[in-house]
């Protein structure tokens, strides 16, 4: 489906310079622009491609001033990077119409409830008294346990497993092979040196507008709930242990592990391979660099941390400048 520059400009609240009737059918990187595509310039190091691209439409930020003439139609926006994210969502919506209906090979309990426009793919299982909201998309080979609830317009990709009693909000996306509600890692040592399993009787609650990456695991609580607040974005291969709470709009990169009962604040940014110890809290708007280790409470908001054990990023970089030269002394 083709979209005109005028439609795009209205969607991203941009200003058109050039032909408003030019149309495109896909988005590409600026260095690979070709007729019928749209690209964007957000990083100045790619400016050279702006003057040679064959793309029909280019998004640029308002603060950027071209040094040469540009042949494509230009759409000027406040922030090209944010605008392209919104635009990709538009193209995705236009391209991927929702499916509906139920595969003959799906196993759906008679006591489950489904809203309007629900899709259930091949070999998926929907348990007893599960509730699927309007427009929910359940792709093939998904397991939805008994008493699970999933809100309107959420998408569950192939191979996802949602254990009984878990709750997923509206407009959530859970990518392939994620596991929601597996047992927390709870074992009590005994006098003979063995370990007795502690029953995990809680569930997982995922609020609205959450995205969870492929092969990520969110464990059920020992009691009560493991909670992922609205707007959280989790990358692939993340471990969220029992009774963890992650605050609104926090983003976490791949291979991070969060131990049991940790409380992560809202609007935090956590890099890849970060380790967060159990039973501690991380303040709102904390930024944690990749491979950092969080071993104690982070009480002050708006901190940036590096290292393991992690501490203030500026102090870490000063220390690093010294210890990387120690072998020369």
Spell out the residues 6+ positions from residue 88 whose beta carbon is closer than 8 angstroms to its own: 27
pLDDT band at 99 (very low <50, low <70, confident <90, very high): confident
Confidence (pLDDT) at 88: 83
Planar angle of CA 218, 221, 224, nearest 5 degrees: 135
Cα 250 to chain centroid, rounded: 9
Q: How confident is the model over 205-227, as a mean pLDDT?
A: 97
pLDDT band at 329 (very low <50, low <70, confident <90, very high): low
Residue 223: CB atoms within 10 Å: 13
3-state helix, strand, coil in the chain (%, to 5): 15, 30, 55
Retrieve residue 250's tokens.
């926090």
Query: Which residue shows structure tokens 């120690």?
Result: 326
The tens digit of pLDDT for each residue in 23-51 reads 998 888 888 889 999 999 888 888 889 89
Confidence (pLDDT) at 95: 61
Cα 326 to chain centroid, rounded: 40
The tens digit of pLDDT for each residue in 159-212 reads 999 999 999 999 999 999 999 999 999 999 999 999 999 999 999 999 999 999
- Which of the residues are catalytic? 242
Instruction: Indicate the pTM of the whole model.
Output: 0.79
Q: What letter does residue 220 receive in the DSSP assignment?
A: P
Q: Considering only the top CATH level, what class is 3-95?
A: alpha beta
As a whole number of Å, the CA-based R_g of the chain is 24
Q: What is the mean pLDDT of the chain?
A: 93
Q: How confident is the model over 147-151, as a mean pLDDT?
A: 98
Q: How many percent of the chain have pLDDT more than 90?
A: 75
Q: Where are the domains of the chain?
A: 3-95, 101-317
DSSP 253-321: -TT-EE-TT-EE-TT-EE-TT-EE-TT-EE-TT-EE-TT-EE-S-B-STT-EEETTTTEEHHHHHHHHH
Q: For 101-317, CATH number? A: 2.160.10.10
Confidence (pLDDT) at 325: 82
Torsion-angle region of 111 (φ positive above 0: left; ψ -120 to 50: alpha; else: beta): alpha
Please name the helix (run of DSSP H) or strand (run of DSSP E) that holds residue 80, with its range, or none: helix 80-95
């Amino acid at each position: 489906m083709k979209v005109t520059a005028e439609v795009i400009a209205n969607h991203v609240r941009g200003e058109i310079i050039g032909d408003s009737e030019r149309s495109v059918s896909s988005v590409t990187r600026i260095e690979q622009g070709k007729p019928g595509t749209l690209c964007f310039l957000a990083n100045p190091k790619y400016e050279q491609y702006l003057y040679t691209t064959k793309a029909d439409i280019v998004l640029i930020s308002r603060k950027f001033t071209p040094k040469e003439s540009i042949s494509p139609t230009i759409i000027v926006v406040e922030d090209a990077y944010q605008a392209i994210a919104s635009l990709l969502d538009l193209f995705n919506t236009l391209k991927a119409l929702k499916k509906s209906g139920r595969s003959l090979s799906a196993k759906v309990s008679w006591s489950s409830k489904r809203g309007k426009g629900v899709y259930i793919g091949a070999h998926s299982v929907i348990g007893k008294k599960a509730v699927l909201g309007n427009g929910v998309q359940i792709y093939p080979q998904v397991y939805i346990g008994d008493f699970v609830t999933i809100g309107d317009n959420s998408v569950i990709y192939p191979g996802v497993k949602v254990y009984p009693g878990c709750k997923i909000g509206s407009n959530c996306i859970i990518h392939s092979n994620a596991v929601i509600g597996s047992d927390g890692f709870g074992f009590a040592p005994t006098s003979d040196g063995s370990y007795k399993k502690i029953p995990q009787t809680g569930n997982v609650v995922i609020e609205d507008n959450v995205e969870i990456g492929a092969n990520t695991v969110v464990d059920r609580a020992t009691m009560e709930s493991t909670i992922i607040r609205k707007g959280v974005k989790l990358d692939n291969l993340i471990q969220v242990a029992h009774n963890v709470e992650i605050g609104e709009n926090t983003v976490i990169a791949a291979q991070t592990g969060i131990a049991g009962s940790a409380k992560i604040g809202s609007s935090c940014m956590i890099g890849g391979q970060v380790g967060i110890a159990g039973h501690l809290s991380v303040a709102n708007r904390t930024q944690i660099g990749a491979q950092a280790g969080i071993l104690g409470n982070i009480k002050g908001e708006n901190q940036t941390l590096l290292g393991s054990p992690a501490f203030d990023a500026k102090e870490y970089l000063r220390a690093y400048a010294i210890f990387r030269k120690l072998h020369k002394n």
